Amino acid sequence: MSDIRPEAEAKHSATQKPPLDPHLKALENEAIHIFREVAAEFERPVMLYSIGKDSSVLLHLARKAFYPGRVPFPLLHVNTGWKFAEMIAFRDKIVKDYDLDLIEHINPRGAAENVTPFTHGSALYTDIMKTEALRQALDAGKFDAAFGGARRDEEASRAKERIYSFRTPDHRWDPRNQRPELWNIYNGMIRNGESVRAFPLSNWTEVDIWRYIQAEDIPIVPLYFAEKRPYVERDGMMILAEDPRLELLPGEVKQEGVIRFRTLGCFPLTGAIRSTATTLDDIIAELETATVSERQGRAIDRDQSGSMEKKKREGYF
Amino acid sequence: MTVSATATAEVFSLEETAPDHARAIRDSRPLRLITCGSVDDGKSTLIGRLLWDTKAVKEDQAATLERDSSGKQNDLGLPDFALLLDGLQAEREQGITIDVAYRYFSTDRRAFIVADTPGHEQYTRNMATGASTADLAVLLVDARVGILEQTRRHATIASLMGIRQFVLAVNKIDLTHYDRARFEQITHDFKEFALTLGVKQITAIPMSALKGENVVYDGRAAMPWYDGPTLVETLEKATTRSNQTVGFRLPVQRVSRPGESFRGYQGTVAGGSVKPGDSVVVLPSGMVANVTKIVTFDLVRNAAVAGDAITLVLDRQVDVARGDMIVAIDSQPMTGRGFDAQLVALQPDGIEPGKRYWLKSGSRRQRVSIEPVSQLDLKTAKWGAADRLGMNAIGKVHLTFDEQAIFDTYEQNRTTGAFILIDPDTNNTVAGGMITGRRSEIGGIHKDDQRVLLSLPADLAEKIMATELFANRRQDVDVRHTSAGRAAEILADLDD
C-alpha cells in the first residue's frame, strides 16, 4: 500500500472502527451508488435536510460517497419557524463542522399571514409551510434533482415509490404512472422543468437507521435521547413545553417527565414518548420490542385516510 | 422456531435479548425475494401473514387497518391483510394491486426485502421489475386449483430474469382438508415444468396463509405428514446472489478530482474483486494501468469486492470518463457494436423495429437500434418469429450500437449483462434487457470486400444515420467522428 496519503485520510484511519456488518454494508453501498449516480447525471441536485435522524444518516452517506471531495451540492432546509430550538442549533453546528452549503427557506406567506399550527390546523399549516414552501425553494434554485431521506417502510404509499421518483414541472407525483425501475439502473432522463426526487434510504428500516448511527458514530439531535423535559398533553400527544409561543389551553397543565422523541418535526405537531432510553443501545433495544410505528407520533399523517399519498401527489416529500 | 423466540423474548429484560438479535442480522445481506401468483391465490394474505407473524406490523398500523376496513375481519379475528398492502387509494378502491411495493421484515437470523408484485396479466412488466433484483421467487398456487397458465408465465419470467431459487407455496391447503396427495401432485406438476426452464432448486411447501400454517410458524398440528421447512426457514437458508466469482468490473460513475493531487474513479464494483497492484484495462479505450489505492471514507482498503462502492486510484494519467469500465486485464468483457439480447417490453407502445433508443447499462448510456427477432409464447414456452414486440412481450432482439458497447452475458454477470431501454421521445423506460452474446461485427448476407469511405458534415451524417435503411444495416458500418482537417488527411492518404 502507498505511504502517501492525503491528510484527511490519515485522520479517518486514526479512528479505526470495526467493519460494518454485511447487512448495513449492503445498504450503505446501495445509497452511495445512488448519490454518485444522481450527482453525475443531473445539472443541479440539492439535498433536502430536515435535521432528523434520517437526514443525519443521509448526510453521512453523502460525505462518504464523495470523499475525498466535498459534498457537491447544497443542503436545503425548509424551515417552518416551528422547529425545536435544539434542532436549529444542531443544524448550524453540523453545517459549520462539515463545511456544507446550506440554503434555508421559510415560506414568506407564512410570516405575512401569520400561519401557525395553532391557528390554521395541522393540515393547512403543513400544506403552506412545508409543501408550498418546498415547491418555492425548488423552483427558486431551479433544482432538477432533490435527495430525500424517505424510506419505504415508513408508510403505505411510500412502499410503492421508486428510488428515482419522477416529478412534473409543478412537482406532482403520479403513482399510477411511475417509470419501471429494474436492477440498479436508474433512468435520469427528464425534460426542462421536470425533476426527480431521489431516495437513497428507500430500502432502510427504522432499526437499520439506528444501528447505522451507532456503528458509524453519527451525531444526532439530543432530543432523541430520554431526559427530564417539560411537556403538556394535547390531543393524546405529549408536546414539548419549552417554546414561549406554546400557549396552554384551558385545562392543560405543564408537566415534567422523562421523555424522548422517535421522530422530529415541528414541535407543536410532534408527540414525545415515555422512555428511559439515554443511549443508542437503549434506543435500539426499545425499538426491537416496540409495538407502535414511528409515525404514530406525527399528527400530519392522520388528518385523513390516505393523507400521505395525497400530500405526496401535491409535492410534499 | 426463530420468530417465536423473538415473540417470547419480550418477557425477559431487553439487555439480555437485544444484543443477540443484533448479532444475528449481521451475518448476512438482506435476502431479496419476489412473490408472484395468480389473482386469487392469496398473495396479499401471505405477505400480510409474514409481516404480522414477524411483528413487522405495529399496533397503530393495525388500528388504521381496522379503521379502513370498517371492522372487516377474516374468520380468525385478524384484520384484512390485503388492505395493509394495497397502499394506494386507487388500489383500495378497486381492490387490486397495481404496482410493485416493497416490504421489509426480519427474523433473528436475517432481514428480508419483498417485492410484492401484481397478479394481473396486464401487470407482467411489474413482475419483471420485481424479479430483476430478486434472489428468490415465491410462487403461489391455490391447492384446490393447481398450476395455472399465469403460474407458468411467472415462473418463466422469473427464470429469464436470472432467479434460480424457487419456493412453490401450495396455499389454501386447509381448504383441501390438508390433502397430501393433492400437494404432491401439484409439486410433481411444477417440478416437471420447471425442468424445462432449467430450474432445479425448488422447495415446495403446503401452507395456509390465512391460518398461518407453515408460513412463520409450523403447521404440524394440521399436517403431521409434512416434515419440511416453513416458508421463513427456507428464506433464512437461501443464498444471496453475488458477482464475486467473475472478472473485476468497475463501471465508472464519476471522476473525483477535489484537488491537483488526487484523481479517483468512483463506482460500485460490479464483478470480481480488486486490490492495489492489480493490472486493469480501461474500456473502451483499451488503456492499461495499475491500481495504486482503493480509497473509502473510513480507511484506505487493501481489497474491494463485488457490491462495494469505492474510489479507485490508478498509477498513471489515463483518460477515464463516466460510462467507461475499468476491468481485470486477464478477464475482459465483450466489446463490440452488435449484441444479442432478450428483453421484456414494458410500455403500451412496445418496441419498434429500427427505432433508435437510449440504452443504459451501469453508468453508460448510448444510442442503440433494436431489431426484434423472435417472441416467447408464454402459453407454449416456445419462441416464434416476430418483427415487433408489444407490451409485456418477451423477445429476442439484435442490438446495434453507434459506438463500442461493453457487456458480459447476463448469465455471467447480472449487473454488466443487464440494461434498460429509454424512449427518446417520452424519456420513459420501455424495456429491461439481458445480454445473451455478441454478434460478429460484419455478418450475414452482406459480406463484401468493397467499402466506401465518405466524409460528410456531422449534421448530414446524423440525418442519414437516422434513416431506417441505415439503421437496418448499422452493424455493417464503421463511423468515426473527427475534424474536417483530419478527414481530409485520411482521404489524402488513400489517394496516395
Residues B435 and B349 in one domain: yes
A23, A33, A179 ranked by CB distance to B29: nearest: A23
Whether B56 maps to a domain, the answer reads: yes
CB environment B375-393: b (16+ within 10 A), e (fewer): bbebeeeeeeebebbebbb
**Contacts of residue B21, Cβ cutoff 8 Å, sequence gap at least 6:** A288, B6, B9, B108
Looking at residue B55, what is its pLDDT?
Answer: 79
| A67 shares contact with chain B (CB less than 8 Å) | yes
What are the CA-CA distances from residue B437 to residues B334, B341, B471 (Å)? 8, 7, 20
Looking at residue B400, what is its pLDDT?
Answer: 96
- Phi then psi for residue B187, to 5 deg, are -60, -45
Looking at residue A292, what is its pLDDT?
Answer: 60
d(Cα B396, Cα B385) in Å, to the nearest integer? 9
Looking at residue B94, what is its pLDDT?
Answer: 46
- Could you give the 3-state DSSP secondary structure of residue B68? helix
Considering only CB atoms, which chain B residues are within 8 Å of A17?
298
* pLDDT class of B486 with cuts at 50, 70, 90: confident
Residues B383 and B258 in one domain: no
Sheet with strand A227-234: strands edge to edge: A237-240, A227-234, A255-260, A273-274
| A305 shares contact with chain B (CB less than 8 Å) | yes
Residues B342 and B317 in one domain: no
pLDDT beyond 80 at B432:
yes
Looking at residue B245, what is its pLDDT?
Answer: 73
Q: How much of chain B exceeds pLDDT 70, in percent?
A: 80
Q: Which amino acid is at A120?
A: H
A160, A191, A295 ranked by CB distance to B101: nearest: A160
Residues B322 and B338 in one domain: no
- Direct distance between the N- and C-terminal alpha carbons of chain A, in angstroms, rounded to an integer: 44
Looking at residue B447, what is its pLDDT?
Answer: 43
- Could you give the 3-state DSSP secondary structure of residue B448? coil
Considering only residues A302 and B347, tell me which one the structure prediction assigns the higher pLDDT: B347
d(Cα A28, Cα B30) in Å, to the nearest integer? 12
**Contacts of residue B71, Cβ cutoff 8 Å, sequence gap at least 6:** none
Looking at residue B287, what is its pLDDT?
Answer: 94
pLDDT beyond 50 at A135:
yes
Looking at residue B19, what is its pLDDT?
Answer: 40
pLDDT beyond 70 at B212:
yes
Looking at residue B26, what is its pLDDT?
Answer: 52
Show the cell assigned to B106: 426480519
Residues B256 and B233 in one domain: no
- The model's pLDDT over A54-103, given as tens digits with 9 standing for 90+, comes to 999 999 999 999 999 999 999 999 999 999 999 999 999 999 999 999 99
Q: Which residue has the cell 483518460?
A: B319
Nearest to A145 by CA among A29, A41, A33, A27: A41
Looking at residue B120, what is its pLDDT?
Answer: 64
- Phi then psi for residue B477, to 5 deg, are -115, 140
d(Cα B290, Cα B275) in Å, to the nearest integer? 10
Between chain A and chain B, how many beta carbons pairs sit less than 8 Å apart? 210
Q: Nearest C-alpha of chain A: how many angstroms from B44?
A: 14
Q: What is the mean pLDDT of chain B?
A: 83
Looking at residue B392, what is its pLDDT?
Answer: 86
Mapping DSSP onto H, E and C, the string for chain A reads CCCCCCHHHHHHHHCCCCCCCHHHHHHHHHHHHHHHHHHHHCCCEEEECCCCHHHHHHHHHHHHHHCCCCCCCCEEEEECCCECHHHHHHHHHHHHHCCCCEEEEECHHHHHCCCCHHHHHHHHHHHHHHHHHHHHHHHHHCCCEEECCCCCCCCCHHHHCCCEEEECCCCCCCHHHCCCCCCCCCCCCCCCCCEEEECCCCCCCHHHHHHHHHHHCCCCCHHHCCEEEEEEEECCEEEECCCCCCCCCCCCCCEEEEEECCCCCEHHHECEEECCCCCHHHHHHHHHCCCCCHHHHEHHHHCCCCHHHHHHHCCCC
Q: Nearest C-alpha of chain B: how many angstroms from A70?
A: 7
Looking at residue A9, what is its pLDDT?
Answer: 43
B353 is in an annotated binding site: no
- The model's pLDDT over B135-152, given as tens digits with 9 standing for 90+, comes to 999 999 999 999 988 888
Residues B348 and B364 in one domain: yes
- Phi then psi for residue B212, to 5 deg, are 80, 30
Whether B481 maps to a domain, the answer reads: no
pLDDT beyond 50 at B2:
no
Residue of chain B nearest A182, judged by CA positions: B129
pLDDT beyond 80 at B242:
no
Residues B293 and B390 in one domain: no
In terms of CATH, what superfamily is A21-209+308-313? HUPs (3.40.50.620)
- Phi then psi for residue B192, to 5 deg, are -65, -45
pLDDT beyond 70 at A272:
yes
Considering only residues A119 and B332, tell me which one the structure prediction assigns the higher pLDDT: B332
Looking at residue A119, what is its pLDDT?
Answer: 86
End of a domain among B295, B328, B361? Answer: B328
What are the CA-CA distances from residue B422 to residues A171, A309, B397 (Å)? 22, 27, 16
Looking at residue B267, what is its pLDDT?
Answer: 98
d(Cα A214, Cα A212) in Å, to the nearest integer? 5
Interface contact B87-A182, CB threshold 8 A = no
B173 is in an annotated binding site: yes
Interface contact A152-B14, CB threshold 8 A = no
Largest CA distance in chain A: 70
> Which one of B27, B97, B266, B347 makes the best mutation probe of the A interface by having the most chain A beta carbons within 10 Å?
B266
Looking at residue B16, what is its pLDDT?
Answer: 34
Looking at residue B10, what is its pLDDT?
Answer: 29
Looking at residue A36, what is its pLDDT?
Answer: 98
Domain boundaries, chain A: 21-209+308-313, 222-299
* pLDDT class of B252 with cuts at 50, 70, 90: very high
d(Cα B106, Cα B112) in Å, to the nearest integer? 6
Looking at residue A138, what is its pLDDT?
Answer: 95
Distance of CA B474 to the CA centre of its chain: 29
Interface contact A68-B88, CB threshold 8 A = no
Residues B383 and B312 in one domain: no
**C-beta of residue B70 within 8 angstroms of C-beta of residue B92:** no
pLDDT beyond 80 at B93:
no
Interface contact A180-B254, CB threshold 8 A = no
Residues B198 and B279 in one domain: no
| A11 shares contact with chain B (CB less than 8 Å) | no
Interface contact B361-A70, CB threshold 8 A = no
- The model's pLDDT over B57-88, given as tens digits with 9 standing for 90+, comes to 765 566 565 555 544 455 555 666 666 665 54
* Residue B381 structural domain: 334-444
End of a domain among B217, B237, B257? Answer: B237
d(Cα B224, Cα B204) in Å, to the nearest integer? 16
Q: Which is it for strands A195-198 and B262-268: parallel, antiparallel or unpaired?
A: unpaired
B60, B113, B261 ranked by CB distance to A296: nearest: B60
B398 is in an annotated binding site: no
Considering only CB atoms, which chain B residues are within 8 Å of A152?
101-102, 104
Residues B85 and B51 in one domain: yes
Give the total number of structural domains in chain B: 3
pLDDT beyond 50 at B492:
yes
pLDDT beyond 50 at A6:
no
Q: How much of chain A exceeds pLDDT 70, in percent?
A: 86
- Mean pLDDT for the stretch of residues A139-153: 94
What are the CA-CA distances from residue B36 to residues A253, B117, B157 (Å)? 54, 6, 11
Between the ranges A9-13, A290-294, B100-104, where is the mean pLDDT highest? B100-104
User: Could you say which DSSP state residue B475 is in?
Assistant: G
Q: Which bin fits A236, alpha (ψ -120 to 50), beta or left (φ > 0)?
A: left
User: Following CA atoms B360, B364, B365, B367 in sequence, which dihedral angle do they give, to the nearest 10 degrees?
Assistant: -100
**C-beta of residue A183 within 8 angstroms of C-beta of residue B415:** yes
- Phi then psi for residue B429, to 5 deg, are -80, 120
Distance of CA A36 to the CA centre of its chain: 19
d(Cα B252, Cα B361) in Å, to the nearest integer? 11
Q: Nearest C-alpha of chain A: how many angstroms from B321?
A: 11
Q: How many beta carbons lie within 10 A of that of residue A298, not counting itself? A: 22
Q: Which residue has the cell 379503521?
A: B67
Distance of CA A146 to the CA centre of its chain: 12
B44 is in an annotated binding site: yes
**Contacts of residue B268, Cβ cutoff 8 Å, sequence gap at least 6:** A29, A32, A33, A184, B250, B251, B253, B307, B308, B309, B310
* pLDDT class of B222 with cuts at 50, 70, 90: very high
CB-based burial of residue A205 (10 Å sphere; 0-12 exposed, 13-18 middle, 19+ buried)? buried
- Mean pLDDT for the stretch of residues A152-167: 83
B88, B100, B300 ranked by CB distance to A9: nearest: B300
- In the stretch 45-64 of chain A, residues with CB closer than 8 A to chain B read 63-64
**C-beta of residue A58 within 8 angstroms of C-beta of residue A76:** no
- In the stretch 187-246 of chain A, residues with CB closer than 8 A to chain B read 187, 189-191, 202-203, 205, 207-208, 211
Whether B168 maps to a domain, the answer reads: yes
Q: What is the mean pLDDT of chain A?
A: 87
Q: CA angle, corner B36, sides to B421 and B33, nearest 5? A: 75
> Which one of B33, B102, B416 makes the best mutation probe of the A interface by having the most chain A beta carbons within 10 Å?
B102
Whether B305 maps to a domain, the answer reads: yes
- Mean pLDDT for the stretch of residues A18-29: 91
Residues B267 and B364 in one domain: no
Considering only CB atoms, which chain A residues are within 8 Å of B250?
none
Residues B168 and B282 in one domain: no
d(Cα B401, Cα B421) in Å, to the nearest integer? 13
CB environment B182-197: b (16+ within 10 A), e (fewer): bbeebbeebeebbeeb
Looking at residue B135, what is its pLDDT?
Answer: 94
Whether B319 maps to a domain, the answer reads: yes
Considering only residues B379 and B406, tell me which one the structure prediction assigns the higher pLDDT: B406
pLDDT beyond 60 at A10:
no
CB environment B71-100: b (16+ within 10 A), e (fewer): eeeeeeebbbbbbbbbbbbebbeeebbbbb
Sign of CA dihedral B347, B353, B356, B358: positive
Show the cell assigned to B481: 467522428
pLDDT beyond 70 at A244:
yes
Q: How much of chain A exceeds pLDDT 90, in percent?
A: 64
- Phi then psi for residue B337, to 5 deg, are -110, -5
Looking at residue B219, what is its pLDDT?
Answer: 93
Give the CATH number of the domain where residue B285 resides.
2.40.30.10
- The model's pLDDT over B454-467, given as tens digits with 9 standing for 90+, comes to 888 888 888 787 77
Looking at residue B493, what is its pLDDT?
Answer: 82
* pLDDT class of B90 with cuts at 50, 70, 90: very low
B118 is in an annotated binding site: yes
